[in-house]
Structure 1
Amino acid sequence: MSEIHVGQTAVMQSNPPEPAQRTWPHAENGRGGLLSPSFLALVATQFFVALTDNMFRWLVVPIGSKLLDSPERAVSIGAACFIVPFLIFAALAGFLADRFSKRNVMVVCKAVEIAVLCLGVSAILMQNVYLMFIVLFLLGSQSAVFITSKLGGIPELVRPEQIATANGVINMASMAAIVIGSILGGVLYDRTGPLGLNDWWISASVLIGVSVVGFFTSLMIGPLRSANPARRFPWNPVGQTVRDIRLLWSKRPLFLAALASTFFWSLGMLSQVNIYLFANETLHVGQQRDVGILLGVLTIGIGLGAVLAGICSRGKIELGLVPLGAAGIAVASMLLAFVPGGAAGQPAGAGFYWSCCLLLALGMTAGLYDIPLQAFLQDRSPARSRGSIMAAYNFMSFAGMLAASGLFWMLSGPLGLSSRVIFFLGGLATLPATFFIIRLLPFHTARLTMRLLVGCMYRVRVEGAENVPDGGALLVANHVSWADGVLFGLACPRHPRMIAYAKYFDNPWLSWIGRLGRIIPIGATRKSMVDSIRAARLALQQGELVGIFPEGGITRTGQIGEFRPGFLSILKETNAPVVPVYLGGLWGSIFSYAGGKFFWKLPKRWRYPVSIRFGRPIHAPADVDQVRRAVEDLEDLGSERT
C-alpha cells in the first residue's frame, strides 16, 4: 500500500467516481473514533456474544452426539439450529433495528441471552438433547437480531471515514471469539465429562458469567436514536423479508455488494465443512486437535485480513481490495488441492503445515474481500431503512451458507468428489467472479493498482485533508512533475475530476484511462475551453471535486509559476470554494524537469519523500494572486517544519 501519513486528522470518506454531495445521518449524535467508549463497548459486546454462542455450541454438540449416538447427526442439527434463525427472523431483526434504538435492541438481546443460557444449563442437567438444541436455536435467534442492529449501528457510532476500519476491528474480535469459544467449549466438555454432568457448575458459571459480562458491556454503548419510529410490525414475516430483498434489489450497487458478500460467506461455509473431510482424507490427521488447528488458522486469517483491510482503506472504503481479495481466494483454494498428503497414524507432516499456510492466506484474502463490501453496505444504506437492508443482506448470506452446505453434501456424497477437488472447484468458481468484479469496479481496481505502484516509489505524507469540504470544490495545485495528477488524486479524500490537455488522451489506451478517471479534457480552441469550463462548473454544482494546475504546465525551475486566470471562471454560478493544494518534494524526482530533462535520470533515492498539503477553503477569491499566495503559504509552512 502507499504509505500515506495523515497530518492532523484522518482522511475523509472516499466516494466513487460519480460523487455527489453527502450528508451523514445522525451527525449530531456525536459519533466518536475507534477508541471511543461506545465503539469499544460494541466490540467487547460482539466478542462476548460470539464467545458464549460458540462455547455453548461446542459443549452441547458433543453431548448431543453421545445422547443421539450419531456425531454426524448432532453436528448437522447443531449447525441447522444456529443458522436457520437468521433466515426465519430476518424480517423481525430488520424491524427492530429500524423501529427502536439499535443500542437498546442489543442490550435486550444480551439480557435474553442470560435467560436462554440458564435454560441451556437446565437442559444439560435434564439430559434432554432436544431441549439443548432448542436452546441453541434460541441463541441463534438472539444473535440474528443482535447482528442486524450491530451492523446498522456501526455507521452511527463511528465517523464515516472509519467505517471500514471499524468493521475490520469488529470482525477480528468476532473471529478471535469464535476460535477461543470453540476451544473453551471443548475444554468444558472434557472437564464435565461426556454427558456434561461432572462438575456441571463449572460450565454453568463460565457460560452465564461471560454472558453477564457481555450484558454490562452492552450497557456502555452510547445512546442511538430510532431510525424509523413509525415503522409497523411485520405481521407477515415472509412477505416482509421479500419486501426487504426487493428494497435491496432496487438499489443496484448495494444489491451487488450484498451478492458479492454472500458469495464470500457461502465459499467460507464450503471451506469450513470441507476442512473436516480434507483433514481425514488427505492429511490423515486423526486427532480432533489437528482439525481444530486447521479451522482456527482459517478463522484467524479472516480476522487478520479484516484488520488489514481496515488499515489499507486509510479512511476510505477501498473497493479495490475486493478483486484483490477474490484473486487471493482463488489462488489459495486451488493450491490446497496440491498439498502433499499425510500418512495415517503418523505425526503431522509437510502437507499439514503447507495447509495451515494456505488456509491462513485463504482467510486473510477473504477478509480483504469482505470488509470493504460490508462497509459499503453500511455507509450507503439510507438511515431510515438500514435495518431492512441489513436484514435482507443477512438473509442472503445465511441462505448462501445453507446452500453451500447442501452443495458440499452433493459434491462429497452422490458425486463422490475428494476434498482436494472441492477446494479446487471452489477456487475455480472464484476466478470468473474475480473478473466480473473487476469489470464492475474498473476504477477502484485501477486506483488500488496505482496505490501499490505509488507506494513502491514514493512515501507520501498528506496534511490538511480535513479542509476538503463534502460538497463541490475547486482544488488548485502547483505543477511539479508528470506524477502530480496521480499523487493528487490518491491523496484527495474523494476522487477529483482533473482538468488536463486533451492531446494527452489521443492514444486509445490513454483515452480509456481518461474516461475511467472522468478526466475533463481541455483543448487549444476557444470552443474546447468553453466546453471544459462548463463541464467543470457542472461537476462543482453536482457536488464533485475538480482539480486543476493553473500554471498551465510543469515548472522548469522548481518554483511556483504564474497562475493563469481562467480557472476563476469555473467558479461562476457556483458556491464552490477554492482549496489551495501544495505538492512538495517532487522537484528532483525522475518525473520532474530537474537536470533539464524528464525521465532520463536515475532516482536520487527510492521511495521518494513527498508531502501534499491542503489549505483552508477560499470562498469567492478576489483574484488569482490570492489563490497563488495561499499555495505559496503552504510551501512556506512546509519549509518552517523542516
Structure 2
Amino acid sequence: MSHPSQFDLLKQRRFAPFFWTQFLGAFNDNLFKTALVVALAFDAASWTDLPASLITNLVPGLFILPYVLFSATSGQIAEKVEKGRLARMIKWLEIGIMSVAAVGWFTHTLPLLLLAVLGMGTHSTLFGPVKYAYMPQHLKPEELTGGNGIVEMGTFVGILLGQVFGAIIVNFKPDGIAWLAAATVGFAVLGLVAAHGIPNTPAPQPDLKVNLNPLTESVRNIRFSASNRTVFLSMLGNSWFWFYGAIVLAQFPVYAKDFLKGDNSVFVLLLTMFSLGIGAGSLLCEKLSGRKVEIGLVPFGSIGLSLFGIDLYLASLGYSASGTVDAFAMAMQPGAWRIILDVILIGVFGGFFIVPLFALIQLRADPQHLSRTIAGMNILNALFMVVATGVAILLLKEGFTIPELFLVTAILNGLVAAYIFSLVPEFLMRFLAWILIHTVHKVKTVDADRIPAEGGAVLVCNHVSYVDAIVIVAASPRPIRFVMDHRIFKTPFFGWIFRTAKAIPIAPAKEDPWLMEKAFVDIAQALHEGELVCIFPEGKLTSTGEMNEFKGGISKIIERTKVPVIPMALRGLWGHLFSRSKDSLLERAFCKGFRSQLSLAVGQPVDPTDVTPEMLYRQVAELRGDWK
C-alpha cells in the first residue's frame, strides 16, 4: 500500500498553519537582519561613527545573545502554556518588535534598530522550543522524519528568501527603507494570521513553576538531557552541525569576493546553492529513511560533509578569474561548477545529518521535558556558534586562507563524528544496515509496524545467513539486542561490532553453563528495562534452506519475563553469499548479488502465556511461505 507524500502534511490543519508560522518567522528575521547589515555596510557613515565592520559583526551577536540568556526560560514556558496560544503571543511580540524597527528606519535611529535585533533574537528564542516540541504531539512517529524535513527545508528557504529580498529592498532609492518597514510589519501580521490556525496543543506540564534564573535552569536542563545518553549526544551532534555551518557560511561573503573574484551576486549564488542543497537533503530524508526515524543517515551525512568540504578546498585551488565577475560569468569560469556542486552537496549532506537528529531527539526525549530539551539544545547551538566564530577569527589571524579554513573544518568534522559514533554505536549499526539495504539489496518489509514502538518484547526469526541481524535492524525503528553464539561474538573485527551493538553471547549448557546462565540473566534484564531482544530459536544457520527445529530457549526466556513475542520470517536470503548454500560462489553472487530482492515479514504479537517453540515454528514457517 502506497504511503501519502510528506507534502500532504501541508494540506492538513495539524501541520500547515504551524509550518507557515515558522516559515514567515524565519523569513522576516532574515529580511530585517540582512537589510540592516547591508544598510550599515554600504552607508555606515550616515548611521553611526563606529566602524562598519564592528557594527555588522554586532548585529549577529545581538541576535544570538537571547539564545544564551533566555532559552532555558523559553523551554519552561513552552512546557507550561498551550502551544497554539503561545505561538500567537510570540507573533504579537514580533509585530511590536517590527513596529519599533519601523520607527527606527523612519527616524534613522540605529539604537532602535539594534534593540529590534535583540527583540527578534528573543522572538526566535521563544519560538524554538515550540517549533520542535509541537511536531511530536501532532505527527505520528513515521511522519516525524518527513515533517522535520519539510520544516528544515522551509526554514532554510525562508532564510534564503529573507536574505535575498532584504539585500534588494534596502537598496531601492529613495523608498527602500519605507518599503522595508512596511514589509517587516506586514509579514509579522501574516505570521499572526497563520498562527491562529494552529490547533490546540495541550501543555505537557501546565502546573510547572517557572525558574527565572537562566543560569541555574540552563545547567539543570542540560544535566537532565545528559541523563539520556543518546539524546544528549544527538544534541551535541546537532550543535556541531551549527558549528560547521557557522564557520562555512560566515566565510561566503569574503570567499565570493576575494577568491572567486565575484560581486554580491556570487555571494547570493553560493548562499542559494547551499540553501537549496539543505532543502533537497531535508526532503530526501523521508524517502531514504523508509518513513521511519533512520539515524543511519547521520553517519552518511557526516561523511558527505567531510568529503565535500575537503573537495571545496581542492576545487578552490584550481579556480581563477581574470577580473571581477558576476554570478553568471563566475559559473563560466574553469572549475566553477565543481565549487558550486561542492556547495550544493555540503547542503544536501547537511540535511541528511540534521533531520534524523531532530527526529531522534523528538522521539527519544521525555515528552514531559521535550521543550526544555530543545531549549537546552538551543543554548548549546548558540555556544557552539560563538566558539565557531572565535575559531575562525583565530585561524584567519594565524594566516589560514578561507579554503584552508574549509579544509580544517571538514577534517574536524570527521574527527568529531568518529568520536560521537564511537560513543553511540547505534548510529554506526544503523548506517551499516542502511547501506546494505539501499545498495546491495532491495528489502521489502511486511507489517513491520507490528514491532512495538516501546516496551520489552522478544523477536523470534528463522536463521538463514550471517547478515540476518543487519536486515532485521534495518526494519526496526528501535535498537535490538541480538542473542548470538559466543564463538561468532568473539570473531576479529566483527566482534567489535557485536560488542558495540550490545549483543548477548550465549553458549550451550554442556560447553559453558555459566555463560548460558549469564545470557539468560542479561536477556531478562534487557527485557525488564524495556528493550527489544531478538533470538534465532533454531540455534544455527540452516544448511538446506529449510527451517530447523526451534529449541526451548524461548520458553526459558518467557518463564523469567512475561513479555510479548513477535514472530518474524526472513525471505529471499537462502543462496546468499553469507548463507551455507552448497552452490558455487559465482552462482551465489549472480543469483543473490547486487540489488537482489529480500523480505522480512512480521507476524502478530503472541501473548507470553500462549508461547511454545512448536507454535512459534508454525507461525514463522507460515510467514515465510515457499520463498526461502
Please, what TM-score do these two structures have when normalized by structure 1? 0.86
Cα distance, 1:519–1:345 mapped onto 2, change above 3 Å: closer
SS of residue paired to 1:89? helix
The answer as to 2:618 corresponding to 1:629 is yes
CA distance in 2, matches of 1:622, 1:232: 48
In 2, Cα distance between the equivalents of 1:57 and 1:377? Answer: 30
Identify the residue that residue 26 of structure 1 maps to in structure 2. Answer: none
- Spell out, residue by residue over 1:311-354, the C-alpha distance to the aligned partner (whole angstroms, 9 max, x if none): 43435444443343333323322332332233323531234432
What does residue 607 of structure 1 align with? 595
Q: Partner of 1:493 in structure 2? A: 477
The 5 A counterparts of 1:242-641 are 242-249=219-226, 251-285=228-262, 287-338=263-314, 339=316, 340-346=319-325, 347-348=329-330, 349-412=333-396, 414-469=397-452, 470-526=454-510, 527=513, 528-593=515-580, 601-604=588-591, 606-619=594-607, 620-621=609-610, 623-636=612-625
Amino acid at match of 2:82: S
CA distance in 1, matches of 2:164, 2:443: 43
Query: Aligned pair in 2 of structure 1 residues 554, 337: CA closer, same or farther (>3 Å)?
Result: closer
- Equivalenced residues, count: 605
Cα displacement (A) at 1:120: 2.5
How far 1:175 sits from its partner (Å)? 0.3
User: Is residue 105–residue 113 contact of structure 2 (8 Å, CA) maintained in 1?
Assistant: yes
Aligned residue for 1:98? Answer: 79
Shift of 1:50: 0.7
SS in 1 for 2:508: coil
Cα pair distance change 1:301/1:478, threshold 3 Å: same
Instruction: Rate the CA distance shift 1:278–1:243 in 2: closer, same or farther, 3 A.
Output: same
For residues 233 and 542 of structure 1, the distance between their equivalents in structure 2, rounded to whole angstroms, comes to 32
Tell me: CA distance 1:397–1:505, structure 2 relative to 1, closer, same or farther (3 Å): closer
- What letter corresponds to residue 274 of structure 2 in structure 1? L
Q: Deviations over 1:232-287 (max 9, x none)?
A: 343433443344344445555444333332222122112112111211221111x2
Quickly say closer, same or farther: Cα 1:231–1:297, change in 2 above 3 A.
same
CA distance in 2, matches of 1:126, 1:320: 53
Unpaired runs of 5+ in structure 1? 1-6, 11-31
Q: What is the TM-score of this pair, normalised by structure 2?
A: 0.87
**Cα gap change, 1:257 to 1:204, in 2 (>3 Å):** same
Partner of 2:176, secondary structure, is coil
Query: Which of 123, 128, 134 is matched with 2:109 structurally?
Result: 128
Query: Cα deviation per residue 1:485-504 (whole Å; 9 max; x = unaligned)?
Result: 32223223323323333333
**2:527/2:563 contact within 8 Å kept:** yes
Deviates more, 1:238-247 or 1:166-175: 238-247
Q: 1:396 to 1:543 in 2, by over 3 A?
A: closer
**Which AA in structure 2 matches 1:196?**
G
Aligned-pair distance for 1:452? 0.8
CA distance in 1, matches of 2:484, 2:556: 16
1:109 Cα offset (Å): 0.9
Deviation of 1:402 (Å): 2.6
Higher mean C-alpha displacement, 490-499 vs 389-398: 490-499
DSSP-derived class of the 2:566 partner = strand
Give the secondary structure class of the aligned counterpart of 2:260.
Answer: coil
Taking the aligned partners of 1:235 and 1:571, their CA distance within structure 2 comes to: 50
On the 8 A contact 1:33/1:158 being kept in 2, the answer is: no
Instruction: Report sequence identity in percent.
Output: 26
Rounded Cα–Cα distance in structure 1 between residues aligned with 2:555 and 2:148: 42
Provide the secondary structure at the position in 2 that maps to 1:367.
helix
Q: Deviations over 1:39-90 (max 9, x none)?
A: 2322221111111111222233333442337653442233223222222322
Shifted more, 166-175 versus 204-213: the winner is 204-213
Deviation at 1:440, TM superposition (A): 1.5
Amino acid at match of 2:565: V
Distance 1:566 1:234 in 2: 52
- Once residues 222 and 144 of structure 2 are traced to their aligned partners in structure 1, the CA distance between those partners, rounded to angstroms, is 23
Whether the 8 Å CA contact 2:299–2:427 is kept in 1: the answer is: no
Secondary structure at 1:456 match in 2: helix
Cα distance change on mapping 1:474 and 1:597 into 2, 3 Å = farther
**Quick check: 1:281–1:419 contact (8 Å CA) kept in 2?**
no
Q: Is the 8 A contact 2:293 2:477 kept in 1?
A: no
Worse-matched range after superposition: 145-154 or 514-523 = 514-523
For 1:463, the aligned partner's letter is V
Structure 1 residues 495 and 176: alpha-carbon distance in aligned structure 2, compared to 1, 3 A threshold: same
CA RMSD of aligned residues (A): 2.9
Residue number in structure 2 paired with 1:48:
24
Higher RCO, Cα 8 Å, sep 6+:
1
Counterpart contact for 1:540–1:546, Cα < 8 Å: yes
User: Could you tell me how far 1:433 is from its partner in structure 2?
Assistant: 1.2
Alignment of 1:102-251 (within 5 A): 102-191=83-172, 193=173, 196-197=176-177, 200=178, 202-249=179-226, 251=228
2:222 and 2:373 in contact (8 A); partners too? yes
CA gap of 1:258–1:551, structure 2 versus 1, over 3 A, is closer
What code does the residue aligned with 1:367 have?
G
Specify whether residues 597 and 152 from structure 1 end up closer, same or farther in structure 2 by C-alpha distance, changes over 3 A only: same
Give the aligned residue type for 1:615. G
2:614 counterpart letter in structure 1: D
- Identify which range, 127-136 or 458-467, moves more after superposition: 127-136
Instruction: Give SS of 2:398's match.
Output: coil
